[in-house]
Structure 1
Amino acid sequence: MKKSIVVIALLSLLACNEQQQPAEKDNVEKEVVKEDTSFLQYNSYFGSWVGDFIAEEYSDGNGDGSHSNKINLVLKRIEGDSVFGQSIVAGNSRAFKGVLRKKDSLYEFQVQEPGDEKYDGLFTFSIKDDTLKGNWTSFRKDLPVVKRRFALVKSAFVYNSALMLPDDMDYVDYVSGKTEEVIEENEEGVKDTFMVDVFRAASEKIFELNASEKELKEADVKNLKKIDLEIIRNTIYARHGYTFKKRTYRQFFDYVDWYIPISTDVTASLTEVEKKNIALLNRFEKYAEDHYDGFGR
């Protein structure tokens, strides 16, 4: 019994000594991998920069600024001096890439869209304080607008079902107006014929019906004008950040502060209530009519 205890004690002592011996050094020194944190200096640049995309130069030399839109420039990644991001404007979502250079105390960016779509171009801009400011030049010189300017502020998109169009604006569809013949008779009984521009205008219902929060019934929409139905339906998409390709709709949403275009397809983010209301509104839009009248710009 004593011999067994002595043997166990000796084995334990040898094991402890072996563990205390320093490990042999590898012949090859292991490489120390350092995490690349250089991108952290650009953290404040990443995200959505939103504002007006203002027409500045036209291919025919003329223009009235009516082609201006809202744009979202998304800065996603900076690796060394390479920049990667996305432009979202007027129903288009385009990846871009380019370079940045430091000039004095500012970083200057020059990025370009792929060039395989009609409205692709080159962005040149810098960021100072809380403003991203610069210009865009079209790759094509036969477009109505060949150069634009912008001064954007950083804006985070957040879906909010309660958002409504501001009621201090008149929602008149100037894009799809038409000309009508008017005949008037003066005091002498002489008839005078002339042409006038007429437009359709939305009613107060667009401020009352929220199709993102309440399931609408036929009674809610059956007497609405077509433009009312269109605006109520598209306000759903605007809340989700849909970028409108149609100028008719952009004229109503581009000037709304809370509207931030982020995607060309928001179908997956629609709620069940919104899907049902979109179906109902679409059904009534097919048969709804509009009344045209004269409105001053």
Structure 2
Amino acid sequence: MNPFKQLLIVASTLVSSTLSFAQIPQVAATWTGLYNDEQKISLFMQQKGTDITGYSLLNGKQTNFKGKIQQTDLNHTLTLNEIGQGASVGRFILEYKGNTSPIEAQWLPTTKTVKPKFFSLNAQQCKYAKGQGEFPDASVRLLKDADLQVPLGQLQYMRNEIYARHGYAFQNKNWATTFSQYDWYMPCYTNVDTRLTQIEKENVKRLKMVEPYAKEVDWGR
């Protein structure tokens, strides 16, 4: 073969490969959104070329997945297959339009005993939600007796809000649903004990100590 023609073929192949690689977007590593209009789900991804590995967090449970990103028309589709067995295992189909746009997502089960889910995800980083919530003081100063003279439900809320600010993924459905309504809350960790400050640890202790003496509802005297 003519050396010049061979050089053109090699150059053409390199350009084609470069263009193909350039078309692969770098997907943001963390996404979150309302999974079933009640609880938040977070997806954590590591990308190497077109290969995606990672895990989801829902109801305090971590489920690993792996899959690929493929170009479809002007957008890209991520197909992520969950690793494991059982009716709760399935795959995510994510329509990716860029890190600044919401992902239109669906989760499809492997069996017909669980219905599919359709939801949206937004790119969001895990970070401490400083100053957020109804009772941010519980994370910055020690609670006094006057702060603790409130109904049982409020004491429990204050205690769990400390964990929520650190991105705790609640297993309890009621608390997972309660905090899912806040934009600042993102489930990121199955355990945040080592992330709590000494003030927060002491306040959690104090809240637990007074909860047995509090009333469910504060009526009258």
* Structure 2 SS opposite 1:158: coil
Long gaps (5+) in structure 1: 1-37, 55-64, 166-206
Count of residue pairs brought into register by the alignment: 197
Give the aligned residue type for 2:153. Answer: I
Going by fraction, where is helix more abundant, 1 or 2? Answer: 2
Partner Cα separation in structure 2 for residue 271 and residue 134 of structure 1: 36
> Aligned residue for 2:110?
139
Match status 1:210 vs 2:137: yes
- Offset, 1:219: 3.5
Give the aligned residue type for 2:70. Answer: R
Long gaps (5+) in structure 2: 1-20
TM-score in terms of structure 2 length: 0.80
> Aligned residue for 2:166?
240
Give the share of equivalent positions with the same residue, in percent. 28
Match status 1:281 vs 2:207: yes
- Aligned positions of 1:41-52 closer than 5 A: 41-43=24-26, 45-52=27-34
- Aligned positions of 1:255-270 closer than 5 A: 255-270=181-196
Contact 2:67 2:78 in 1 (8 A): yes
Give the aligned residue type for 1:241. Answer: G
Partner Cα separation in structure 2 for residue 41 and residue 267 of structure 1: 38
Partner Cα separation in structure 1 for residue 121 and residue 130 of structure 2: 25
- Offset, 1:237: 0.6
- Offset, 1:211: 1.0
Partner Cα separation in structure 2 for residue 93 and residue 104 of structure 1: 32
Going by fraction, where is strand more abundant, 1 or 2? Answer: 1
- Offset, 1:78: 2.8
Contact 1:87 1:93 in 2 (8 A): yes
Query: For the structure 1 residues 93 and 40, does the alpha-carbon distance in structure 2 shift closer, same or farther, using more than 3 Å as the test?
Result: farther
Q: CA RMSD in A?
A: 2.4
Q: Which has the larger radius of gyration?
A: 1
* Structure 2 SS opposite 1:281: helix
> Aligned residue for 1:191?
none
- Offset, 1:284: 1.6
Query: For the structure 1 residues 272 and 114, does the alpha-carbon distance in structure 2 shift closer, same or farther, using more than 3 Å as the test?
Result: same
Query: For the structure 1 residues 126 and 285, does the alpha-carbon distance in structure 2 shift closer, same or farther, using more than 3 Å as the test?
Result: same
TM-score in terms of structure 1 length: 0.60
